[in-house]
Structures are given as structure tokens and as C-alpha cells.
Structure 1
Amino acid sequence: MPETARHRGAALAVLSAASLMVVLDSSIVAVALPVIKTDLGFSAPGLAWVVNAYLVAFGGLLLFSGRLGDLAGRRRVFLTGVVVFTAASLAAGLSPNAATLVIARFAQGVGGALASAVVLGMIVTLYPEPRARIRALGVYSFTQAAGASIGLVAGGALTQGLDWHWTFYLNLPIGVAALLLTPLVIASDQGLGLRTGVDVLGALLVTGGIMLLVLGIVQTGDAGWSFRTIGALALAAALLAAFVLRQARTKTPLLPLRLFRIRAISGANLTMVVMVAGFLGFQFVTALYLQQVLGFDALTTGFAFVPTPVVIATFSLGLANWLNTRFSPRAVLVTGLVTTSAAFLYLTQVQTGGGYALHVLPSLVLMGAGAGMAIPALMGLAMSHATSSDSGVTSGMITTTQQVGGAIGTALLAAVAATRTTDLLAAGAAEKEALASGFRVAYGYSAGLTALAAVIAAVALSRRSVPAAPSPAAEAPAGQPDPAR
């Protein structure tokens, strides 16, 4: 199948749309949780599993799914994931009771992991030219960075305009379209072959370890540092340690440890964990501030986030290629992280009597600019040394660290905000002031996390560890069009 610019653009559109579907699902459901609780009779602790069941399955299976793509073929794994995710979305929308919904959400996580883990590897294969790859990664990064904000808007509109079932039904037309179009625009790949060896024990160790890690992290918000939480984290550490030992000794490792000796890959993954912890924690806290302090309803809260994806689109879709070519991905990444840290520092000034335009909007714009610079640059750095045989597992690894970072950030910021609020309420402070003070502390943590990510990127991603930014002259011979156009 010829890989013309139009053909590759169609393939990128399908992959990005499927990725957006998965990202939307993580935030679109959050807005509908109060209504779901009432309709299906969830208890307060049980309601958390509408989110946690998805996170545990999704985070736990990403790494294995990425390696499975290398072995069995990335298109095959992608299509399997879309089928599972779409079917599970239908089951979730039709759920008659709480137990069915939780099971369907777990199945969505399985499908989401299979589909998402291989997308970056497929994009890297489609766009081998550095300049075209930067532009393609900008499109993908937009879906990752802006998808959660778009989900808040869609979730509020669907829940208030129709009902919560439609937050799941929305996935059906996207999933069906992806299933029909993928065989037409993305060529089949054979992979290395399952006969080369699937490390079943390694897959069980890493999947169980990451599932328990995510479970332990998300439980801190409800159970605190209970025996159950500590036990889950301790067992996760033991399983992951056993996984590392297994990978060092087996002839067919699920995750070749040599990848961690590549500074661009290890540094990018470490930066991703810390960066996303600050990014997603910010979104969670800001949604609470808008609703609990400023009195916004769910739909208004969703629309309040619109400036962020608009600015992200401006940078990731319009300026990312020029910035990364003119300077370097490392410089653009550090600049973007410093910009987001400044946005969070500005939010530490929020007040109970504050207004959206003065205290929130400027930070949302800065946040969009910083994320629009940082995420495409970081994705490119993470995949810069991926070979054709390792692109799936490298893609799965960066997506796993992204997921773990989001879980850490949300749990951490929720905990510090709740602790500060509880202390002030016990001291006799007014409820809104106590809430606002807790959010200010959380924003301070977000600023610290993104500043730390900037330091890690500056140190770990030294100029010698990453490929030089391509010059336009070196990319396409004279007279030939840029294939990404």
C-alpha cells in the first residue's frame, strides 16, 4: 500500500481519533459520577471503582500490550483493543447495576491499553523523517493533552442534555469508524512473531505489579495510608523487582533492560512521570475549585477549561514543528515545563471571592502554551531511539509512565488539599476559605512537580543523549515535497 502524504495523513487521523476516544473516557465519566451514583445505587466507596477499575486495567496492561504489538503486529493489537473498548463502552452504557458497570469499566481499561500502547510506535513507523515525525507527534500530543479538557465539556453537556449513558455511547461511532477505516489506511505488519518467545512470567509480574501500584496510589485518596494501601504498594514493589530480575535473565525479555541504558529513553520516561503528576493533578484540583468555591455547575466547569485545548492546539499543531526545528526538543521541553510551573504559581493566589477571568483564565492560557510545547517535544525524545523491533514496547513504556504519573499526581494533590482543608475546618475556618486554602497548597505542589520535571529534563536529557534537531535542508532533497504536508 503506497504511503502517500494523503494516505499517511488519513492513518494519523484514525490513530489520533482512537487515542482521543480513550483519553476522553478518563475525564468524560468524572462529570457524570454524581448522577451514576444516584441511578445505580453506588455507595461512596464503591463509586470510586467506576474510575479505579479502568485505571487499574489500563495502567497494568500498557507495557505488555506494547510488547505484544512488537511480536504479533501493532495493527492487529490496535484493532483488538478498539473492538474490546467499543464493546465494553456499549456494555457500560447499558449497565443495569453497579457491578455490571464496574466490570465494563475494567474491560474498557483492557481495550484502552491494547489500543493506546501501540499508537506511538505506529506513528513513528509511518513517519520516519524527523521533521514530518515532529508534526505528526504534535497531532498525537494534542489528543493526549487536550482530550481530558474536551472530555469535561462533553461530559457536562451529555449528562445535563441527555443522561449519563451517553458518556459511554459517544465512543461507539468513533470505535466503529476506526474499525472500518484502519484496514484501509494502515498497512498490516507481521511483527517479530510470537514464536520468538513471549515472556509469560514477565508479563504476569509486570501486569500484576503495575496494577497493584496504580491501585495503591488511587486508594490513598479514600483509605489513606491504611494497611490495605501499604500492602498493595509493598506487593507491587516486590512484583516489579522480580520482573526486573526476570528481564535480566531471560533470553526473550518483555522489556529489554538495555533500553534503560539509552539516556534519551530513561530520561524522557522519568520526566514524563513527574510532569504528568503536576499536569493532571492541576486539572483535578481546578475542577473542584471552580465548582466548590466559585459555584460553577458541571457544564460551566467544562467550558471553563476550553482555553487550554485551544492554546494547546495552537502550539502542538501549529508551532511545535517550527520550535523543535529552530531550537531543539530539549530546549522546547524545558521552556514548556517552566511555563506551566509559572501557571501553577499564579494559581496559588486564588481566593474565595476571586473571579474566573482574573484568577483562573491567565493560568489556563499559560498551561496550554506550556503543555503544547512540552508534550510533543517529550514524546519525540522518548521515541527518538526506538527501533522497528522495540517501538511497540517503547511506546507502551512512555504511555505507562504517563498513566502512573497521572495517578500519583491526582492522589498526591487530592491528599494535600484535603489535609489542609480538614485542618482549617477543625480550627474554625469558613468552609470556602478552607477549601481555597487547600487548593492553593495543591497548586504549589503542581508548580514544584513541573519545576522538578524541568530540572530532570535539563540534566538527564543532555545534548549528547538526544538526536540533534533536524534542519529543513537535511530532511527532503530539493524539489521533493515534505511528506507530512
Structure 2
Amino acid sequence: MSLKLRSAPPWAVLVACCTAQFMVILDVTIVNVALPQMRDALGLSTNGLQWVVNAYTLTFAGFLMLGGRAADLWGRRRIFLIGLVLFTVCSLIGGLAQNGAWLITARAAQGIGGAILAPATLSLLTSRFTDPHERRRALGAWSITSASGAAVGVLVGGILTDLLDWRWVLFVNVPIGAAVVALALLAMAESRPDGAKPRLDVLGALTVTSGLAVLVYGIVGTTSHPWGSAQTLITLAVGAALLTVFAITETRIAANPLVPFSVFKRRSLTVVNAVTLSIGAANFGTYYFLSLYLQQVQKYSPLQAGLDFLPVGLSAFTGALIGTRLVVRLGVRNQLILGTAVAASGLIWIAATVAPGQSYLGNLLIPLILFGGGIGLSFTPMAMGATQGVPPDQAGLASGLINATRQVGGAIGLAAMATAASSVTSRHTASAGIPRALTDGYALAFLIAGLGLVAGMLLAFALPSASGQKHGTERAQAAPDTRKAVSARARR
């Protein structure tokens, strides 16, 4: 299927896509340090405060596949703009919230906007940059913004909350979003299929969206309902049943499936998505529990806690920047192994040494740099592996998969870590005191995140070797020339 692609300045597409992706990733963590202020201003309960974060994660994960496929079918620029406008408007509405229900609803709608927007950013880049060298550089820039966005979110959240007001962690998206909308309207080209537009697989869209949403709802709910409770088990069973119906629909019923399961025959895409589960879990868990440790145990202000995340963001940025060039030498597999191993070592170091009252410079700085640098190294090969060899008409699908996997991994990981940490804290409070008990719980959470990255590192060994990837690329590039030669001989 060919694509209509009018000329557009490459820098404009790159800037628009990277800025939009940065906003989406930023909002996963920017509210973390503002949560105590939100609780006081809006009278939120502990459970309600949790849903300020979870409402965004829930809808983001649930609608990512639909957003990715819609970009392929209806035009990437169009879907990009729809998602960006929805995300920006809901940020404004959330900043104006007068009660907890208002804020949580706005965050949920904001997550839908992010789910529509995020896959379009990556699919626009892969369709616009077709030269392997240019695509690697573009994906490197996208990876840098993705890798550093979460850490920068905590820093920006702390600065805005301390110097202005908690509402500005949401208002900050409005001028940025408006600027990106203007840039996309003026300079970004449309990319869409030729001929008649295929009908969207409605049943597949409904079952995968509702299945993921219900599944993530059940997982994040384990912080207030145990894993073995009737509510958790029933919710997870319903989510699994909906996803089973989705699988049957895609393989047996749908004429134009939302997710052609043949895409999973690509070993690189399948393995990279499995590795991404561990990266998403580690990212979500680390930012969440480190923010709590710094503010609840160390008693840091939001600004000071935010500044302490700066080395993580800088090391992630540096790692992604180096990784863009290093992946040419190491290959996707070796760099994913290296990145996850370095990040895991940082988290396991923190888990083994974290304690109340310890020095940030002496005990946390180096392992946090290792964690951030390792995650940064992982993002470029992760994006390359997920989209390598994928046809242009499935670019949105591939980018939706990788984004959905990261979000679902984050939700699963955070829920597991929160349950484990809460259990340890409850057992240790009477004997060790609150600061020590909280720290023991957080240490277990960091350990789980680190071991998850070790599992991701081991999974990465299943990827094709660098030489295998090179030969595969050469065969793919040679195929069109071979077809042309055969056609020419036939005409003669």
C-alpha cells in the first residue's frame, strides 16, 4: 500500500513529534511531587490521590492500540492533531479543577488524548524518515525526549509547585501544546493510505480497549484490594476474557483486523515489546517510590525533591544521546542488554543501601546516574527494534504496541511494587518506626524493579544478533532491486 506524503521540512516534523512525545511522558510523573498539595487543596482521600495518577495511566494504556491503528487508517497528521488538541484542552480543564472528581475525570480524558497522540509521533517519524541513517537520527531524538521526560517531569513539577501552584503542573501543557498545534498545521505533511479508507475493526477496538482498561484497573486496584480478593480476581478475569475475545476477533472474524497477529511473527518486535514491559515497570516504580522516599522519609520540599531527580534526567538524556550513535556499532540486541544491565545495577544498589537520613550525594547520586544512563541507552534500540521491518501501513500499530507495552508494564509493576512495599511497611512499623518501615518497603520496591530489568536483559538475548540484523536489512534493501531486474528481463 503506497502512501501520499507531501513534502514537509524534516526539522518541523521532528520538533513537533519530539515535543508532543515529551509532553505525554512528562505528564506521567509531573503530578507526583504535587500530590500532597492537590490533597490539601481539593480534600482528596488517600485512594482519591492515587487515582490522580492512575486515571491517566489507565486510559493511556487502554486506548493506545486504538490510537495507533487510527493513525494508520485515517492519516497520521490528522490523528496527531486530534490527540494533541484533546491533551492540551484537558490539561487546562484539569488545572481549573475545583474538586477531586473534576481533576480525576480531566486526567482520564487527558490520558485518552495522550494515547491518541503518542503512537502518531513515532509513526510520523518512521514514515517521514525512510533513509536508514536519517531514521536512526530521528528515532534517536525521539528516544532522548522519551528517556528524559519522566525525570524532567518530577523536576518541573517540583519547581512549579514550590514557586507557583500545583495547578501549573497541568497549565504548563497549554502554551506548549498550542505552539505544537500551530507548527503541525503550518509545516507537517499528511501521511495516509491511497484509495478507499479501510473500515476500522470496531469489535476489535472495543474489546482490546476495554480489556486493557479493565485489566489495568484491576492491577492498580491491588493497592487497596489484595491480589486474592474477590474484587481483584473478578476484575482481572473480566479483563482476560475481553482480551480473549479480542484475540478471537483478530484471528477469526475481522476482515481488516485492528492488530494483525502476523505482526508478532517478527521476532524483533515481539521480543522488544517483552523487554519494554520491564523498562516500563522500572521507570514507573522508581520515580513513584523515589519521590515518596525523598518527601516522606527525608522530608524534602517539592522543589528539593524535584532537583534531586535532575541527575536521572541528565544521565538518561546523555545515555540516549550516546545510544543513538552506539547502536550502529553494538546493534539493537547488544545495546538493549547493556542498557538494562546498567539500569538494573543502579536499582539493586539503591535497594541494598537506602536508609533514613542518608546523604543523597554519598548514597543515591551514583546509582541514580546508572539507572538513568541505562534507561537512556535502551530507548533508541527499543524504538528501532519495535519498528524494524514493519511495513509503512503498520507503523502506527507498531508504535502503539511499544507505547502500550510500556504503560501496561508500568501499571503492572507499580501495582506489584506498591502491594509488596505496603505489606513490608505494615509489618515493620511497630518494631522499627515509621521512617524505617517506609524505607524498608521502598527498598523492596526498588529491588523488584531491578530484578525486573534483569529479566528484561535476559529476554534481550533472544533478539537477532547485530550481524543478523545487518543481513536482514541488506536483504530487504536488495528485494526491490531484484524485483526491478526481473521485471526488466520480462519486458525484454
TM interval, short-chain normalised: over 0.9
> SS in structure 1 opposite 2:166?
coil
- CA deviation digits over 1:62-83, x for unaligned, max 9? 0011001110011100100011
Q: How many positions carry a matched residue from both structures?
A: 468
Q: Give the structure 1 partner of residue 13 of structure 2.
A: 11
After alignment, is 29-38 or 264-273 more displaced?
29-38
CA spacing shift, 1:432–1:42, aligned 2, 3 Å = closer
Alignment partner of 1:286 out of 290, 305, 316: 290
Match runs of 1:169-208 below 5 Å? 169-191=171-193, 195-208=197-210
Show the counterpart of 1:75.
Answer: 77
Aligned to 1:23: 25
What amino acid is aligned across from residue 35 of structure 1 in structure 2?
Q
Q: Secondary structure at the match of 1:190?
A: strand
**Partner residue, 2:276:** 272
Q: 1:381 aligns with which of 348, 373, 385?
A: 385
Corresponding residue number in structure 2 for 1:138: 140
The 8 Å contact of residues 19 and 143 in structure 1, kept in 2 or not, is answered as yes
What's the RMSD between the two structures over aligned residues? Answer: 2.0
- Identify the residue that residue 432 of structure 2 maps to in structure 1: 429
Deviations 1:142-171 (A, max 9, x none): 222211111111111111211122111101
Preserved contact between residue 130 and residue 470 of structure 1 (Cα < 8 Å): no
Compare 130-139 and 209-218 and name the one that shifted more. Answer: 130-139
Deviates more, 1:186-195 or 1:356-365: 186-195
1:177 counterpart letter in structure 2: A
Structure 2 residue aligned with 1:390: 394
Deviation at 1:18, TM superposition (A): 1.0
Distance 1:352 1:100 in 2: 36
Aligned equivalents of 1:326 and 1:421: distance in 2? Answer: 45
Letter in 2 for 1:123: L
Once the two structures are superposed, the pairs formed by residues 327-476 of structure 1 within 5 Å of their partners are 327-347=330-350, 348-426=352-430, 428-462=431-465, 466-467=469-470
2:130 to 117, 128, 131: 128
- In structure 1, list runs of 5 or more residues that go unmatched: 475-485
More deviation in 88-97 or 192-201?
Answer: 192-201
**SS at 2:245 equivalent:** helix
Q: Deviations over 1:401-440 (max 9, x none)?
A: 01001111111222222211211124x1122222222222
Name the stretch that deviates more: 177-186 or 39-48: 39-48
Q: SS of the counterpart of 2:258?
A: coil
- Separation in structure 2 between the aligned mates of residue 365 and residue 214 of structure 1, nearest angstrom: 30
Whether the 8 Å contact between 1:85 and 1:107 is mirrored in structure 2 is yes
The answer for unaligned runs of 5 or more in structure 2 is: 478-492
Q: CA deviation at 1:379?
A: 1.0
Aligned to 1:252: 256
TM-score of the superposition, structure 2-length normalised? 0.91
TM-score by length of 1: 0.92
* Corresponding residue for residue 105 of structure 1: 107
User: Displacement of 1:260 after TM fit?
Assistant: 0.8
Instruction: Write out per-residue CA displacement over residues 318-372 of structure 1, whole angstroms, 9 at most, x where no aligned residue.
Output: x223211122121111011111111112112122242111211001111122112
Contact preservation (8 Å) 1:263, 1:460: yes
Percent identity for Structure 1 against Structure 2: 37
**CA positional deviation for 1:173:** 0.6
Q: 1:78-114 deviations in whole A, cap 9, x for unaligned? A: 1000111111111111122222222211211111111
How far does residue 194 in structure 1 lie from its aligned partner after superposition? 7.0
User: How far apart are the structure 2 equivalents of 1:364 and 1:121?
Assistant: 31
Structure 1 segments of 4+ aligned residues over 3 angstroms from their partners: 1-4, 191-195, 460-471
Q: Please say if residues 131 and 325 of structure 1, whose CA atoms lie closer than 8 Å, have aligned partners that are also in contact.
A: no
> How far apart, in 1, do the equivalents of 2:423 and 2:184 lie?
48
Q: Does structure 2 conserve the Cα–Cα contact (< 8 Å) formed by 1:50 and 1:105? A: yes
Q: Which residue is 1:320 aligned to?
A: 323
Cα offsets for 1:186-205 (capped at 9, x unmatched): 21123367742211111100
Identify the range of structure 1 (385-394 vs 409-418) with the bigger mean alpha-carbon deviation.
Answer: 409-418
Partner of 2:224 in structure 1? 222
